[in-house]
Amino acid sequence: MLLVAGDSETESTGYSRFLMDSSRVNNNWPFALEGLPFILIATILTIFFYGIGFFILAVLSGCLAIFIVFFFRDPHRTCSCTPNAVVTPADGRVIRIQRLEGKENPLEGPAVRISVFMSLFNVHVNRIPITGIIQGIDYHPGKFFSANLDKASEQNERNSIVLETMNERRIVVRQIAGLIARRIVCWAKEGDRVQTGQRFGLIRFGSRLDVFLPEDAEVIVQAGQRVKAGQTIIGYVS
């Protein structure tokens, strides 16, 4: 499913897709550009309320503007790991590591699923877990269960990115909307050559990412561990 920002279908599904562009992937602002409209609105309200003498409302809207900047923050990060290392695509906490049998998963065979939950206070910019080529992108509308539930991976609104590594191994990164997350943003497109740690999207206001690795992958993270997108290694693929 190919959606472009601004399409009517985009607005109705809550899903945004942009062609890979340097303004987002190589963002030099301290916050993700998707947050700019919200920051401007909150700032304008702060100035307006202050100008008419509603100081309490001015303080509240000012605090809101600060929180929005904090939520959409996009710190510069570098990755210096080995080519076969897989880094976490999201900040947050590893809530589940699960061995999957059969074909009921995006890899269509035995696999390992690592789930990372992002709270409101985590950086929400998502990053590529390993260098390779994007073979496909599959978006599904769905429900908005709490992202830490098992059923969220299959029933919530989600966007799956199929990535083939330089050694021709497939992994899948799945962006999953949460209870209050209503907008999945993906800047990648099929055929893109991507690098470990490169930005590829975000999810607004709390959510989860699942990474599906081949069954023989070496997983080095543990459930409950805090991880940082583009830097924390979660495993290795041969």
- What tokens were used for 181? 């997350």
Report how far residue 236's alpha carbon sits from residue 220's, in angstroms, rounded to the nearest whole number: 8
Single-letter amino acid code for the residue at 23: S
- Scored b (16 or more CB within 10 A) or e, 101-118 reads eeeebbbeeebbbbbbbb
Alpha carbons 158 and 178: distance in angstroms, whole number: 9
Instruction: Give start and end residues of each alpha helix (H) in the chain.
Output: 8-13, 22-25, 36-51, 55-71, 152-155
Side-chain-facing half-sphere of 154: CA atoms under 13 Å: 6
Check if 207 is active-site: yes
- Catalytic residue (one of 61, 146, 207, 238): 207
Contact 186, 88 (CB under 8 A): no
Pick from 154, 158, 189, 195: nearest CA to 173: 158
Q: What is the DSSP letter of 224?
A: T
> Looking at the annotation, which residues are catalytic?
207
